[in-house]
Structure 1
Amino acid sequence: MGFSNRPSFRQLEYLLAVSELRHFGKAAQRCKVSQPALSAQIQKLEEILGVPLFERGSGGVTLTPAGAKACEQARSLLKGVQALQENMLAFQDPHQGSLRLGVIPTIAPYLLPQCLPRIQALYPKLHLEVREEKTAHLLDSLHRGELDLCLLALDLEMDFGEVREIPLFKDPFFCLLPQGHPLARKQKIREEDLDASEFLLLEEGHCLRDQALKLCSAVAAQELPDLRASSLLTLVQMVAMGNGLTLIPQMAISREIRPEDPVVLRPFEGGAFGRQIGLLHRPATKRRRFFEELGQLLCLDGGGVS
């Protein structure tokens, strides 16, 4: 099949209009063309594809099996063309088009519900796609071009590769203890208070786990190896059952800890421990300034740039 004998996008649009309305005249009105012009294009499309797409009768228009399959593929093709146009808008105006954002699980549920409505209100032509994954998966997707921007903790002992950072704000860690724990009597926790403590941590792959392990190593504390959580909520529940203590980021406190939970929350003296929240993007992006604008919006809900 040569280029001259391939279906046009207009013919595919006509095909879908007729399939949805089951009437050539109504389809022509929707497409703002005359009925003879639309009918001629449908007939031409049938000739190109070599199969009848509609059964025409006194009771109206019915799709043939081939027509139904053609409509399915036409929708997919036209959706892809629309996505192409939307994505190209981002090169004309960074505030519109598609933006694929990756966020780690220990940030997404605490920051996005507040900031996403504000972003959508300020940038109504922006199509924001959000993916929640652990740090390593987000970095892989960023480098493969499957994500445009990542929101995560920057102060990790890992190689991010060829990326650019936009630091946003510091998210302090708090010490979460079961009621009755000896350290619960203190108003603030010092580093040396944690010597020989038993920590509950998230499972492998979470950057918060790596940060907690770094603290454990510094104070000669140890992980409880048989108790690992998949989420911060599970960590809180395990502490409430008296299984040990843990670290929890400030942004997660109001969502994950209820007043009736039998736990005690204590800050670290001098705000000694925390994580640096920020954005990562590929070096070649033309949207750096826009990403910085988004970062400022995230800071409104994250506590401000530290």
Structure 2
Amino acid sequence: MPLRFSFRQLEYLVAVGEAGTIALAAQRVNVSSPSISSAISQLETDLGLQLFVRHHAQGLTLTPGGRRVFNEAKQILFSANGLNDLANTIVETARGPISVGALSTVAPVVSAQLRRSFEAGFPDALVTLKEGSQADLLRMLGQAEIDVAITYDIEIPKDVAFEALVSLPPYVMLAADHAKAKQASLSLADLQDEPMVLLDLPISREYFLSMFQHAGFRPNITERTADMFMARSLVANGFGFGLVNMRTRSDIAPDGERLVILPLTGAVRPVVLGLATKQSAHRSGIVQAFFTHVQDHLQTQGLPGMHVPL
């Protein structure tokens, strides 16, 4: 059911009820007398209730029903002001809940460390972590399930603001005993006849395959997996090479086998890791504090989990 009043009408009602005359109320709220008189009359019509008794040349007095509405209007305006104060507090201070989403390939490497360091710097922050695909993160942003997403600069819609953090070039993963493992770097041409373990995830799949398309040949995909840890194990056990953008500090696969990770040379596009939020004129204090914290962390300590500081 739609409301039959506006906050402006309630403000005028309270002003007249306290002042006793429309002229004095108009002075207090800095609005013309006719505007207040019209608003009060419209409010009485909309509520179907006489709020004031008009006394010729002697001002107005509240009716019994008007007195009850007057008291309730004061409480409503008080609560509304409290809501404004709460919003200002959230915007200006770094406390309270913040929900952070991270791309599933990135989350295990960076999100936990960033959460730990952020909560250490802001003890009043309550961080919740979620992970998912790019589509998942964009949906969660749209439905306000997360406040910020740690993700790549790929397929970002216009209603999402993306702030770049660091450029991540591609690397080649090889088994330690691979014939090309001792080279300083590799190009796509070096991998043309090699079996490939494809990280078969949205965004990652299209990104890596586009490299081969631009190079003019198709990779020899022999294994596919949607799990980064499985991809590392398959590569480490000699089932093919893999491509990644995040070189972790550890070159050991989950099953204990060793990996060799080499730079991929040539005209290959890096991905950019950054923070994404819904487009908005305002950013809450805690979200702004998280942005600043992540940027400072990158400048002083590098990306968490990376092989070397960036």
Amino acid at match of 1:147: I
Aligned-partner Cα distance in 2 for 1:102–1:88: 23
Amino acid at match of 1:269: T
By how many angstroms is 1:273 displaced?
5.3
Contact 1:111–1:301, Cα closer than 8 Å, also in 2: no
Aligned to 2:198: 201
Aligned to 1:95: 94
By how many angstroms is 1:183 displaced?
2.8
By how many angstroms is 1:243 displaced?
1.5
Query: Radius of gyration: which is bigger?
Result: 2
Tell me how many residue pairs correspond in the alignment. 218
By how many angstroms is 1:245 displaced?
0.6
Segments of structure 2 that go 5 or more residues without pairing to the other structure are: 1-82
Aligned to 1:187: 184
Name the TM-score, length of structure 1 as normaliser.
0.61
Contact 1:169–1:305, Cα closer than 8 Å, also in 2: no
- 1:267 has 2:263 as partner: yes
Contact 1:111–1:298, Cα closer than 8 Å, also in 2: no
1:75-130 per-residue CA deviation (whole Å, 9 max, x = no partner) reads xxxxxxxxx9xx85763434112111110121111112322221001111111111
Aligned-partner Cα distance in 2 for 1:291–1:138: 17
Point out 4+ residue stretches in structure 1 off by more than 6 angstroms: 303-306
Name the TM-score, length of structure 2 as normaliser.
0.61
Aligned to 2:175: 178
Aligned-partner Cα distance in 2 for 1:301–1:178: 27
By how many angstroms is 1:270 displaced?
7.1
Q: For residues 197 and 94 of structure 1, do their structure 2 counterparts lie closer, same or farther at Cα, with a shift above 3 Å needed? A: farther
Aligned-partner Cα distance in 1 for 2:214–2:125: 44
Aligned to 2:244: 248
Aligned to 2:212: 216
By how many angstroms is 1:167 displaced?
0.5
Aligned to 2:150: 151
By how many angstroms is 1:136 displaced?
0.6
Q: For residues 265 and 286 of structure 1, do their structure 2 counterparts lie closer, same or farther at Cα, with a shift above 3 Å needed? A: closer
Aligned to 1:112: 111
By how many angstroms is 1:268 displaced?
2.2
Amino acid at match of 1:229: T
By how many angstroms is 1:135 displaced?
1.0
Q: For residues 119 and 89 of structure 1, do their structure 2 counterparts lie closer, same or farther at Cα, with a shift above 3 Å needed? A: farther
Higher helix fraction (1 or 2):
1
- 1:160 has 2:157 as partner: yes
Contact 1:166–1:280, Cα closer than 8 Å, also in 2: yes
1:206-230 per-residue CA deviation (whole Å, 9 max, x = no partner) reads x3222212223233242526x3223
Q: For residues 136 and 264 of structure 1, do their structure 2 counterparts lie closer, same or farther at Cα, with a shift above 3 Å needed? A: same
By how many angstroms is 1:277 displaced?
0.6
3-state DSSP of counterpart to 2:239: coil
Aligned-partner Cα distance in 1 for 2:141–2:163: 15
Contact 2:229–2:254, Cα closer than 8 Å, also in 1: no
Aligned-partner Cα distance in 2 for 1:271–1:118: 36
Aligned to 1:293: 292
1:175-205 per-residue CA deviation (whole Å, 9 max, x = no partner) reads 1123443432422112332334432112343
By how many angstroms is 1:240 displaced?
2.2
Q: For residues 256 and 276 of structure 1, do their structure 2 counterparts lie closer, same or farther at Cα, with a shift above 3 Å needed? A: farther
3-state DSSP of counterpart to 1:254: coil
1:133-187 per-residue CA deviation (whole Å, 9 max, x = no partner) reads 1111110110122211000111x2x243411111001223321123443432422
- What is the root-mean-square deviation of aligned Cα atoms in Å? 3.2
Amino acid at match of 1:239: V
Aligned to 1:278: 274
Aligned-partner Cα distance in 2 for 1:184–1:259: 19
3-state DSSP of counterpart to 2:207: helix
